[in-house]
Amino acid sequence: MSAGTEPSSRLALFDCDGTLVDGQASICLAMEDCFARAGLEPPARERTRRVVGLSLVEAMRAMLPEGGADLHARLAEDYKAAFHDLRRRGLVEEPLYEGMRELLDALEEKGWQLGIATGKSDRGLRLCLEAHGLAGRFATLQTADRHPSKPHPSMIEAALAETGSAPELSMMIGDTRYDMAMAKAAGVMAVGVAWGYHAVEELLSAGADYVAARPGEIAALAKAVA
């Protein structure tokens, strides 16, 4: 964007796990493996789902607040190794939620730019998008490799700057309270989804402007954004 140009583009930013794809089975398996490597009792899967969206060290800190920084860092590295091993063995499951491809098509047809803001790594996001034939659909990709953990607004701020988009014309679409809090901190519309890992009530209490029960509702909402 050239100097002095006012941003006018509309940007729809998506979280990945729990919003675009359902990666919870693989995430839970990797979490159980990394805890076992450390000699710790594997966490309940509901507990693991609660931290999806945070960067890995922050997730481990939330899972084990009594642990030290060294333990959190080691668990994060072991989680990466466990997830890579699952992928090497062809065991990673990240199905695209029903209706998401149609939503992306509808938003693009309405002139929206598309982006992703996720707690995944660059590599993990790239492989996920390639698996679904979506690698070229997004104008901006923001990951945990280059930003503070959600709910810090850094990912959204970088995405807005990269695409020349206006906060008041843009939305963050996600399934966790971290996504909603990040959206509010960045000044964009916070759109929750009811099919992910946090309850609707929690999304609303975190500041969601709207919670969609199905992807088509987001397409309809996009029509109302000037």
| The domain boundary residue, chosen from 88, 107, 137 | 88
Q: Does residue 1 lie in a domain region?
A: no
101 and 84 in a common domain: no
Beta strands per DSSP E along the chain: 11-14, 113-117, 140-142, 171-174, 189-193, 210-212
Q: Does residue 81 lie in a domain region?
A: yes
pLDDT, residue 142, reads 98
Predicted TM-score (pTM) of this structure? 0.91
Looking at the structure of the chain, the number of domains it has is 2
pLDDT, residue 1, reads 38
100 and 69 in a common domain: no
pLDDT, residue 224, reads 76
203 and 106 in a common domain: yes
153 and 84 in a common domain: no
Q: Which residues contact 174 (CB under 8 A, 6 or more apart)?
A: 14, 15, 18, 19, 53, 117, 180, 182, 183, 191, 192, 193, 196
Residues spanned by the domain of 138:
11-22+95-223
pLDDT, mean of each 10-residue run, the chain (226 residues): 54 98 96 96 94 94 95 96 94 96 96 96 95 96 96 98 96 98 98 97 98 96 77
At residue 20, the 3 state secondary structure works out as coil
pLDDT, residue 8, reads 60
194 and 82 in a common domain: no
pLDDT, residue 4, reads 41
104 and 156 in a common domain: yes
Contact 174, 151 (CB under 8 A): no
